[in-house]
């Protein structure tokens, strides 16, 4: 957490929906990065 403590927004992706990082981040997605990131890009492209 020290490395990201000064970040304005923290986004985490983890396969474990109970991962401790999720308590510290602003946004999180549970799943495999290989699946989540392309879907996220698609959603953002439509916005």
Distance between CA atoms of residues 40 and 38, nearest Å? 5
Q: Mean pLDDT over residues 17-24, rounded?
A: 92
Mean pLDDT across the chain, nearest whole number? 90
Residue 13 CB-density burial (10 A; 0-12 exposed, 13-18 middle, 19+ buried):
buried
pLDDT at 24 over 80: yes
C-alpha to C-alpha distances, 28 to 23, 40, 42, nearest whole angstrom: 9, 11, 17
Within the chain, what is the greatest distance between any pair of CA atoms?
A: 34
pLDDT at 20 over 90: yes
Q: Where are the domains of the chain?
A: 2-46
Contact assessment for residue 18 and residue 41, using Cβ atoms and an 8 Å cutoff:
no
Structure tokens of 12?
């985490």
């Amino acid at each position: 957490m020290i490395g990201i403590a000064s970040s304005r927004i923290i986004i985490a992706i983890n396969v474990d929906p109970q991962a401790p990082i999720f308590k510290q981040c602003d946004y999180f997605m549970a799943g495999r990065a290989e699946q989540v990131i392309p879907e996220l890009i698609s959603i953002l492209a439509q916005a």
